[in-house]
Homo-oligomer: A and B are copies of this chain.
Amino acid sequence: MEEQNIKRTDVNELGEFGLIEHITKYFIDIQDSTIKGIGDDAAVIFEPELATVVSTDMLVEGIHFDLMYSPLKHLGYKAIVVNLSDIYAMNAVPTQVTVSVAISNRFSVESMDELYAGMLAACEFYKVDLVGGDTTSSPKGMILSVTAIGHAKKEDIVYRNTAKPGDIICVSGDLGAAYIGLQILEREKQLFLSNPDLKTDLEDQEYIIGRQLKPEARWDIVKAFKSAGLIPTSMIDISDGLASEIFHICKQSKVGAVIEESKIPLHPDTETMALKFQIDPVTCALNGGEDYELLFTIDPSDLGKVRTMDDIFIIGDIVEAEQGIKLKTTGGNFHTIKAQGWKHF
């Protein structure tokens, strides 16, 4: 957290132009398609023949993140990653990002350094160029807005509205951990607020807390699709929970779905901690969100290709719209799945 820094330089000492220069100096453009990065009225990208995909997200302090338990470096990393996840969800490869940051005067130059160090780490790992943005002040708190840009062959792009009855529903990774991670962090925050001298021990919860604070986007799955010559029939990333995402696919594709409860992938730590919190682990997977895994459907003829890939789980089937969107429980019952989404308002 920024309070831990010993040195505190007021952003006014640098001014707007100085601050931009200071925080962007470590960013080096590596993509061939980046013709002009930071420093003009607009960035210039040239990638002839490929289609451009664009996604944007706004993250607001007190709504999407809490700086009491989100280190600024992790926050910077996550802000980039959640946007890249949307690009991968189109079966495209991210190449550029723009980042806008508004900060109140409680943030120092050193805290901006932390935030941008996290963004730089994400840009380097995912090989994307930071090509533009805006830095301004806010009357209260921090607001981040990231726009991610990627490229793909037009015919390789995968949408949400193209699933068809008979398709097989797949998901990558495991679900629900990010939500349980948030519950742990919220609990620790309350404990800390009630007694600041309490020492917290989060060591054996590394996996689930990492899923909340420093998620990764599934570049490896999109790469595996390419290697296997597989194009999913529809795809979406899991930011709001499995229930919301399957609902989006079904609504836009005008189909129904049956998801088997027993096949939803859960990490053992998620199950253990969910039970400690007296929450059904499947509910975490369905309605938790922030897992940034990929939910996709494939034609049954592609089943062989998926079976050879790591970390992909078959969880159900696309059916006719009239059959609705159902969860088949381990007991054999059918429950209607409802989109929850985030209730920010």
Interface of A with B (CB < 8 Å)? 10-12, 15-17, 19, 35-36, 39-49, 51-58, 60-64, 86-87, 89-90, 92, 96, 98, 100-102, 105, 131-134, 136-141, 143, 145, 147-150, 154, 157, 159-161, 235-237, 252, 339, 341-345
Q: Which residues of B contact A11 (CB under 8 A)?
A: 345
Q: Which residues of B contact A136 (CB under 8 A)?
A: 58, 60, 63-64, 344
Q: Which residues of B contact A96 (CB under 8 A)?
A: 54
Further pairs besides A40-B161, A41-B236, A58-B136: 14, Cβ < 8 Å: A17-B341, A35-B51, A36-B157, A41-B86, A41-B87, A41-B160, A42-B87, A43-B54, A44-B52, A45-B51, A56-B132, A58-B100, A63-B138, A140-B140
**B143 & A143 in contact (Cβ 8 Å cutoff):** yes
Counting every copy of the chain, the complex holds 2
Q: Which residues of B contact A105 (CB under 8 A)?
A: 345
Separation of A40 and B44 alpha carbons in the complex (Å):
24
Q: Which residues of B contact A140 (CB under 8 A)?
A: 139-141
Q: When A42-B87, A160-B41 are in contact, do A54 and B98 touch as well, CB less than 8 Å?
A: yes
**B90 & A35 in contact (Cβ 8 Å cutoff):** no
Taking the closest CB of chain B, its distance from the CB of A70, in whole angstroms, is 16
Q: List 9 A-B contacts (CB under 8 A).
A: A41-B86, A41-B160, A41-B235, A42-B86, A42-B148, A42-B150, A44-B52, A48-B48, A139-B140
Nearest B-chain residue to A239, judged by Cβ:
B41
**B150 & A58 in contact (Cβ 8 Å cutoff):** no
Q: Which residues of B contact A19 (CB under 8 A)?
A: 345
Q: Which residues of B contact A55 (CB under 8 A)?
A: 41-43, 132
Most buried by B among A46, A235, A237: A46
Which 7 pairs of residues, A with B, have the shortest CB-CB distance? A145-B145, A42-B55, A41-B89, A58-B100, A42-B53, A41-B86, A46-B51
Separation of A19 and B344 alpha carbons in the complex (Å):
12
Q: Which residues of B contact A235 (CB under 8 A)?
A: 41
Q: Which residues of B contact A17 (CB under 8 A)?
A: 339, 341
